[in-house]
Each structure stands twice: as C-alpha cells, then as structure tokens.
Structure 1
Amino acid sequence: MMSELITKDVIARYNSRTGRENSDQPTLDQLQLEKKNKIRLSKELEDKSHKLRQMKGEDLEDLDLDELQKLEKLVKVSLGRVIQTKRNKIMSEIMALEKKGAELIEANNQQRQRMVMLSGGDIGPAAIMELENLNNIGEEGVTSESATNATTCSTNALSLEDDCSDILSLKLG
C-alpha cells in the first residue's frame, strides 16, 4: 500500500516535469473544487433572486420590522435615482427640441431673406403680411399652415366659403 502511494507520487512528479500529464482528465481535487464552486454559486444565485423578489414586493412575510424599514429605504433611494434619470432624459430631449426649433426658425428666416432677394426687394404689403403669418403661432395654437389656409380662404370667392370654414375648423380645432 505504501509502495503504491510512492509509485503514484513518482509518476506524478515525472509527468509534471515532462508535461505528459493527461490534462483531459480532471483530478479529484479539481472536481471537488468545481463542485464547491457550483454549490456556492447556486446558493448565491438563490439569495440574490430572493432579494430581488423582496425588492419587487414579494416574499416579505419572513422579514421583521427592521428589515422591512431597510428595504423601504433602499427602494426609496432606488426610486430617487430612477426619477433623476428620467428627469435628465426629459431635460435633454427638451434641450434637443429647443435647439431644433431654433434651427428651424433660422432656416425660416434665411428662406424669407432669400425670397425677398429673389423678388428684388419689391414685395408688396400683402406678401409681407403673408410671411409674418407663416412665422407666427397665434395664441389659439394657429400654425403657419392654418394661417395660410385662413388667408387663402379669405381671398377666395364666396362660393368656397363652406369649404374654407371646414378647413379652418379642422386646422384650429
């Protein structure tokens, strides 16, 4: 028995020095270590899953008052971070929309200047009024499109009056 252990030890040392050890076959120690790690990770997964269910408001029956208060504080802090992140995203979207609005206003002004230049600076008061109507948004939420329709309808013949009132009610409504 003793000689068998010595022989295995000598063979193991020889294999380790020559690199002939069969690396495809895990040793008993490696298997035991993997089993311990698997058990530890399974327990850790179960514990984290239980804590997650508690944060969702499930499995709270076995918690005492102190643990419930700690959980409540943790949820409040988490909710605060969620609210702050949401607020930041909304603000960044608002700033992006304001920037886009400013760009559109600038493009509109450039188009107006281009129109004046193309007409040789000789545009009448009606055209100036029309340009102003296109730029302004009224107190009632009249967009430039509905202002254009209103101007167009007011200059058309009386026979089209019914059609224009429909358009105005759709645009303003």
Structure 2
Amino acid sequence: MTDIDLKKRKLKMKLYINLACDILDIPTPYIHYHIPKDEPNNLGVTYKKRGYYHIYLNAEYPVEAILYNACLHECRHVYQSMVCERKDAYLIEPKEVIDSWVENFMTYKDVFNKNYELQPVELDAYAFGDYVFNTMYNQEVIPRKEPLRTPLIKKMKELEMDYPKDLVIDIAKDYFKMDV
C-alpha cells in the first residue's frame, strides 16, 4: 500500500469514527492506526487510558469494508463503556442491557474463545457496525453466518428503534457522498 493510499484510508477511517460518534452522541476518541504489539491478532481494540478512550485499528487491513465496519464497532465499545460508567446508566439503556454489559466487561473473553462474537458487548458492537454500514449502503455489506447471524439481525432491529434509518442516513450524508 502506498503512503498516499494509506493516508486516504486513514482519512476515511476517521470519517467512519466521526459518523459513529455523532450517531451515538459521544466524544470522538483518540484514533491510532496500528494495533498494539500485545494485540497482534486484532483488527481493532479499544482502551481507556488516563480518562480518555483510544481506538486502535489496523489501517493496513486488506478488506476495506471490514476495516470501516470495525471503526463503527469500536466506537460502540466506547459508547458501552461510557454508559456503564454513568450513575444514570439505566435511564440511557435498559437495566438488563447495562447489567449484561457490566458483567461481560468483568468476564470478557478474547478473540480466541469459541463464542467471542456472542458476548453481549461484542454482539451489540457487531450489530451496531453492521446496522450503520448496511443502512448507509442499503444492502447487507458483510454477510454473517450462524450462530451469529440470527441474534445479530434481532439486535440490529432493536438498534433501529434507537437510531432510525433516516437519522443514520442524514448524519452519514454529512460525511460521505451518498446516493439516497
């Protein structure tokens, strides 16, 4: 990948992150375009350091659609963490959702575990990324297989209640040239 191509890709990644943060109504985290040395098998990872959120993404990942979806996915993790830290969390998300996220963060399984994608925080983040991406492009951009597909579709329908498609499209138009 040339330096110019990488620079364009990083700019586009930033647009997807800003889009997600606008939809979620959260501040933009620090963005890093490489994966930390201790996380070599990840496409993206989110950390909180000294009170600030940092998203690390592998900018050289070969499949752009999956990389951009990961930008949305990681922003959802920032949202989940921010909501769980709030005293009024139950006013933002249902109690059972908050409780499952808090429990999941305390017992988090990494990518090497069998049902990694079905953990509450991961399923929610996958659903958010897929919902926004699919809404923007009016198609299923990244096909998913079972056992993830059915719960993912269910969660995406729930997300549509909080983030209607017209809202997603209106915000996306601010960042991307879209045929709507």
Higher helix fraction (1 or 2): 1
Relative contact order, higher structure (CA 8 A, sep 6+) = 2
**Counting strand residues as a fraction of each chain, which structure ranks higher?**
2
Larger-Rg structure: 1
TM score, norm. by length of structure 2:
0.23
